[in-house]
Structure 1
Amino acid sequence: MFNLLICFLITSCSSDDNNDNPNNTLQETIENDTQSGTWRITKFIDSGINETSDFSGYNFTFNSTGALNSSNGTNSFDGTWNISSDGADLDDLELNILFNLMNDLDDLTNDWDFISQTSTKIELIDIIGGVEPDDLLTYERK
């Protein structure tokens, strides 16, 4: 019986059990949630000024290829996105957004830190430091 238990334990372990990136599961979950459905901005505070209305009507799609598409029916803009990590917690993840043309969405280009994340809501912050207030950005799934 003891030999059977040892045999089971040895065969049930694999090299995949040693995860070099302890944050991999959290990062993958957030990436999968972000890629699911269409999102809208429900809060954008830029240096203490509420500019949420600037994004009224825009829908955002985060594609698995890293492409970020946004359209309000009249204007359409393409950018890129990814999630980078330098640790094992939500605080260590960043949502990197890049819209490379000067347009209505250029204020979104940033390396945003996560405040909170669910499958339907992403709250982000850009910590400015100094005398200016931090920037805040919230996406909610449509």
Structure 2
Amino acid sequence: MKNTFFYGLLIMLSMTLMSSTCSSDDDGGNQNDNSQEIAQIESTVQTGTWQITSYVDSGQDETTDFNGFDFTFASDGTLTATDGTTTYIGTWSVTSSNSNDDNDIDFNISFPVPDTNDFEDLNDDWDIVSNTNTSINLIDISGGNGGTDTLVFQMN
């Protein structure tokens, strides 16, 4: 009797393990895989130089803070902003977001500047609203004050 119980338990355990290793995903792909879109965005921004054509901070237009600056997104993740006199060097990347939205892609910008510098306002993990070969529209909804910032880069 003990052997029958033991073998029955062993068979049930084996069936449970086998069924748990099977996937119900018939397409074989990862629904959260947006690597092709990320690669396309990276390739686009690495082409040429870009300008900020709109920066709105919680409803206040602050685009003029970046007038005259050309932005270059290098393949090594370096982000350079220069107006011919002043140059800022930071980093950039495009990544899958940590949010629950499966298709959310972040455009990450970081300049090592003091909080009082206008370029500090660009430091964020921006959500991509839309992008083309000549523009990229970004948004950030602040967790602290609930304000919404928008940022638009246009290719020169």
TM-score, normalised with respect to structure 1: 0.79
1:92-103 alignment to 2 at 5 Å? 92-102=104-114, 103=117
1:32-71 alignment to 2 at 5 Å? 32-71=43-82
Runs of 4+ in 1 over 4 A off after TM superposition: 18-21, 129-132
**Residue aligning to 2:131:** 117
| Matched pairs, number | 123
Q: Find the partner of 1:29 among 35, 40, 63.
A: 40
- Larger C-alpha radius of gyration, 1 or 2? 2
Q: Find the partner of 1:73 among 72, 80, 84.
A: 84
- Superposition CA RMSD, Å: 1.8
In structure 1, the gaps of 5 or more residues are: 1-17
Shift of 1:19: 6.1
Q: Answer 1 or 2: higher relative contact order, Cα 8 Å, separation at least 6.
A: 1
In structure 2, the gaps of 5 or more residues are: 1-27
Identity %, equivalent residues? 43
TM-score, normalised with respect to structure 2: 0.73
1:119 counterpart SS class: coil
